Amino acid sequence: MSEAMNDKTTALIAEDEPILAATLAATLGRLWPELEIVATVGHGQAALERALVLQPDVLFLDIKMPGKTGLEAAEELAEQWPGPKPFPQVVFVTAYDDYAVQAFDNAAADYVLKPVSDERLARTVRRLKERLGTQPGGGGMDALLEQLRALVPAAAPAARPERLSLIRAAVGNQVKLIPVDDVVYFEALDKYVNVVTKDGEALIRTSLKELLPQLDETRFWQVHRGTIVNSAAVLAAQRDELGKLTLQLRGRPEKVRVSPLYAHLFRQM
């Protein structure tokens, strides 16, 4: 039987600074001696992979890590969580200059500031014990999604660029001008974004993160880390037997997957 399957409360720490990771583990050992640290990892991808295998009760995720941020790792974990064990409680570890602490407070998020304070961590430990005791069915997923919805916009650029009306995209050896209103969805592909219309596909050399602020947010909705859809092109939203949500789009045969983080956009459908 694996360590994560025993009766003890288990935790995973994701922190790219070894001294801070060791300090956090040592402080937790004093404040919560019953807690078992099943793994300590140094980057977001490792946090995702180990969490899926070990399925800990609590995750301490550093916001700023190589490869994937703590927010990105948490979002991907919500998408891939296999169950049946309840989704873990998530505590974000941050510094004042990483994210506005006010954003965390407004999100009612659990967070720990660097350097780790016994007093602050003790309050977090009390809340975690209470939640683990009162939410045996796993309120962790719902709590995390609420946190992410409040925290992810805090990372968006303050200055909004001019709205796009035309997209210059590569189609073979040609440059094609595509009206933004004709786009069914945008799909991230490594260093490119695939622009998908009813009539075909084309590539633009940008990232989804750079593209999103240039689009009309009332019409173009991010529905996944790698997908933005034209809401006017959504024909139906469907859930499968596992509760996963997909979109059927006008003029396209493929279905687009919706992350749990954005599923609330389609509740009325």
Tell me the pLDDT of the chain averaged across its residues. Answer: 86
The verdict on 139 and 178 lying in the same domain is: no
Q: Count up the domains in the chain and report the number.
A: 2
The verdict on 87 and 186 lying in the same domain is: no
What average pLDDT score do residues 33-45 get? Answer: 96
Which of the listed residues 151, 177, 205 is the one where a domain comes to its end?
151
Q: pLDDT at position 4, please?
A: 40
The verdict on 89 and 181 lying in the same domain is: no
Q: Residue 160 domain-assigned?
A: no
The verdict on 80 and 174 lying in the same domain is: no
Q: pLDDT band at 150, cuts 50/70/90?
A: confident
Q: What tens digit of pLDDT does each residue of 218-264 get?
A: 999 999 989 999 999 999 999 887 778 999 999 999 999 999 989 98
Q: How far apart are CA 233 and CA 143, in angstroms?
A: 30
Q: Is the pLDDT of residue 180 over 70?
A: yes
Residues of the domain holding 184: 166-265
Q: What tens digit of pLDDT does each residue of 89-134 get?
A: 999 998 865 555 666 665 656 888 888 889 989 999 999 998 888 7
